[in-house]
Amino acid sequence: MLLTDIYQSLKKDLKQIEYRLAETIHTDEKELLHSSRHLLDAGGKRMRPLFVLLAGHFGEYRLSELEKVAVALELIHMATLVHDDVIDDAETRRGRKTVKAEWDNQVAMYTGDFIFARALTEVAGLSDPRVHQILAKALVFLVRGEIDQIHDLYQPDQSLRRYLHRIKRKTALLMAISCQLGGIVSGASESAVRALYQYGYSVGMAFQMTDDVLDLTGDEKVLGKPAGSDLLQGNVTLPVIHTLENGTPVEQQMIRSYLESRGTEGDLPQILKMVCQSEGIPYTLALSKRYLNRALTALEKLPDTYERESLRFIGEFIVTRSF
């Protein structure tokens, strides 16, 4: 099995979702359309729609319902991305802000609000009250995750627990409910829905951990962003937290003074090199592997189908990928 095989098997339905995504964000307001399209075209792996569709096979697969969930979740994901950009902009352009940049931030904020409102329009078409309840609850946690992230920027004293909490809210939860809601709108059994949620949650955690490692060790050309961009933006991820707790006193001090000065002091390339060679990397990857195993255990509760095999494969891929 290859990842492309999985996409291929769902090609028609994913294409339909892509079409609906474009249709949903259409507006006669040019600037808004432009910024929304930009986001849509930036694409990404459409993991949330993929999970929704795969999960939908454990009940009665109805594209009309699954499509609404998939479109809504992908739009919500996009809306959080664009609101994150408002922050990143604010960070990187600090002190050198032009009116144009400011204007862009405003538009970014409202683009997020707009895409979000469109997501709700999709969800409004679904009658199962559980869907509304799960989504609304998840949204609260999602926003809390964004706020956690602001608060934790440049904080040298972060526990593993705090990190796990943050990436749960930031990443894992949306993947978990993608699987869960895909199951629910297909009328999958309660135990299947639970297993799907558990799978999505664990895979999401594993995904974010691998992502955090790749940000440090990955190839700039493959990643599409400079290596170490997390630390550059003050985002303290698990490999760094581990080094802060277990590195030599000199290593700890290097990172600490970089963070405490909010990135103004210290040699970032040197710190990155040091973290890359630290135990923080294998430690994070091992933890990621443990979450993957939990995800695979959850899958065992589902019937042995092509879609279960696909979910297994995606999990394995997420943890072993190099991009």
Which residues contribute to the site for a second copy (CB under 8 A)? 27, 29, 31-32, 83, 86-87, 90, 94, 97, 99, 102-103, 105-107, 109-110, 113-114, 116-118, 120-121, 123-125, 127, 129, 132-133, 135-137, 139-140, 142-144, 146-148, 150-151
Using CA atoms, how far apart are residues 225 and 322, in angstroms rounded to an integer?
Answer: 14
77 close to 177: Cβ distance less than 8 angstroms: no
Structure tokens at 95: 């002190």
- Sign of torsion over alpha carbons 182, 184, 186, 191: positive
In whole angstroms, how close is the CB of 46 to a second copy at the nearest point?
A: 23
Nearer to a second copy, 169 or 312 (CB): 169
Region of residue 189 (left: phi > 0; alpha: psi -120 to 50; beta: else): beta
Which residue, 39 or 319, is less far from a second copy as judged by CB? Answer: 39
Of 123 and 188, which CB lies nearer to a second copy in the complex structure? 123
User: Least distance in Å: CB of 229 to a second copy?
Assistant: 18
**Minimum gap (Å) between residue 36 Cβ and a second copy:** 11
- Residue nearer to a second copy on the CB measure, 76 or 272: 76
Token reading at 9: 């098997």
Our CB check for a second copy shows the closer of 162 and 290 to be 162
Among positive and negative, which fits the CA dihedral 245, 250, 251, 253? positive
* Beta carbon of residue 134, minimum distance to a second copy (angstroms, whole number): 8
Question: Nearest distance from residue 225's CB to a second copy, in Å?
Answer: 21
Which letter, b or e, does each residue of 239-254 get, where b requires 16 or more Cβ atoms within 10 Å of its Cβ? Answer: bbbbbbeebeeebeeb
Cα–Cα distance measured from residue 29 to residue 91, given in angstroms and rounded to the nearest whole number: 28
